[in-house]
């Protein structure tokens, strides 16, 4: 990464001459660019891109952990099998605790969301990688897709009773229409916050790391780098540790909110 940054510094300095004295290259958002994997040309809907690659790697990681890991069906699990079993138990318990016993039917769906987001986030922490979950297009499809799914499910399971979700029968009668309006608005805001929360967290963390990374080669340019470079390296390390936590927590938050929305669809009564 440092090599690339220095190259860019050189290029930038060549282009802009003396005015660009410091010569540091800040491209914190370049890591989010969608690029073709092969050749040149426009990005069509079917073009294999870096997003395709890292989603495919997420699939590979999931297959390795959950399919090859559990291949032995060992009574005393191997390490890989333990990871799979722990993730299974973790998500299954979450679905059952939050969405209730009949929510367990949708366990594979919730598990798909969790493992996809978690593995995409974690793979995204590999230096030089691309993080699909940092893109609003991806998280919006996840968030809105799940929103449409639970809304349809709510009407299919409960019919018109699903609207009881918005009608607080234990509130004073005068307040009920007002509360209903607020509830409807908050219901439709759900997928927005659901998807922006994930993309925003992942993007912000990665961008901050990249900003600190841009300061790291300062020692090659000026004397103040003796201070700046170690500080930025330490900062990258600290933020990286935080990002590992965020990668898990955001996957967890997305999943548990999905469970809550599922619960509302299955049991709309308050």
Cβ-Cβ contacts under 8 Å for 191 (sequence gap 6 or more): 140, 143, 144, 146, 147
SS3 of residue 76 by DSSP: coil
For residue 208, the minimal CB distance to another protein (Å) is 10
C-beta of 79 vs 174, nearer to another protein:
79
Q: Which residues, including other chains, have CB under 8 Å from residue 154's CB and lie 6 or more apart?
A: 162, 165, 264, 265, 266, 268
Nearer to another protein, 211 or 244 (CB): 211
**Whats the size of the chain, residue-wise?**
270
Residue 224 has φ and ψ, to the nearest 5°, of: -65, -15
Closer Cβ to another protein, 153 or 179, answer by number: 153
Least distance between another protein and beta carbon 114 (Å):
10
> Could you give the CA distance from residue 40 to residue 45 in angstroms, rounded to a whole number?
15
Residues 130-169, one symbol each (x = binds another protein by CB under 8 A, - = not), give: --x-xxxxx--xx---------------------------
Range 103-132, binding another protein (CB under 8 A):
107-109, 111-112, 115-116, 132
- Write the CB contacts of 30 (distance below 8 Å, at least 6 apart in sequence): 210
Other CB atoms within 10 Å distance of the CB of residue 1: 15
Q: Which of 4, 43, 171, 227 binds another protein (CB under 8 A)?
A: 43
Give residues in contact with another protein (CB under 8 A).
Answer: 8, 12, 15-16, 20, 24-30, 32-34, 42-47, 49, 51-52, 55-56, 58-59, 62-63, 66-67, 70, 73-75, 77, 81, 84-85, 88-89, 107-109, 111-112, 115-116, 132, 134-138, 141-142, 199, 203, 211
């Amino acid at each position: 990464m440092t090599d690339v940054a220095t190259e860019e510094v050189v290029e930038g300095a060549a282009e802009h001459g003396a005015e660009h004295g410091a010569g540091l290259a800040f491209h914190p958002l370049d890591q989010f660019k969608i690029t073709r994997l092969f050749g040149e040309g426009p990005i069509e809907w079917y073009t294999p891109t870096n997003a395709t690659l890292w989603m495919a790697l997420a699939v590979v990681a999931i297959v390795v952990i959950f399919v090859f890991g559990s291949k032995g069906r060992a009574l005393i699990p191997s390490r890989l099998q333990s990871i799979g079993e722990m993730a299974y138990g973790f998500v299954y318990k979450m679905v059952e605790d939050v969405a209730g016993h009949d929510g367990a039917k949708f366990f594979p769906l919730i598990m798909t969301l969790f493992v996809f987001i978690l593995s995409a986030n974690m793979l995204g922490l590999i230096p030089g990688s691309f993080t699909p979950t940092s893109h609003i297009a991806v998280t919006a499809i996840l968030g809105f897709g799940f929103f449409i799914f639970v809304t349809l499910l709510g009407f299919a399971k409960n019919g018109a009773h699903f609207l009881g979700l918005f009608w607080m029968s234990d509130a004073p009668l005068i307040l009920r229409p007002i509360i209903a309006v607020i509830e409807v608005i908050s219901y439709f805001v759900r997928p927005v916050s659901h998807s922006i929360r994930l993309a925003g967290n992942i993007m912000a963390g990665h961008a901050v790391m990249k900003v600190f990374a841009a300061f790291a080669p300062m020692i090659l340019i000026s004397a103040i780098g003796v201070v700046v470079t170690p500080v930025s390296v330490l900062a990258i390390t600290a933020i990286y540790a935080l990002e590992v936590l965020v990668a898990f927590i955001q996957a967890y938050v997305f999943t548990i909110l999905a469970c809550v929305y599922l619960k509302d669809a299955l049991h709309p009564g308050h």
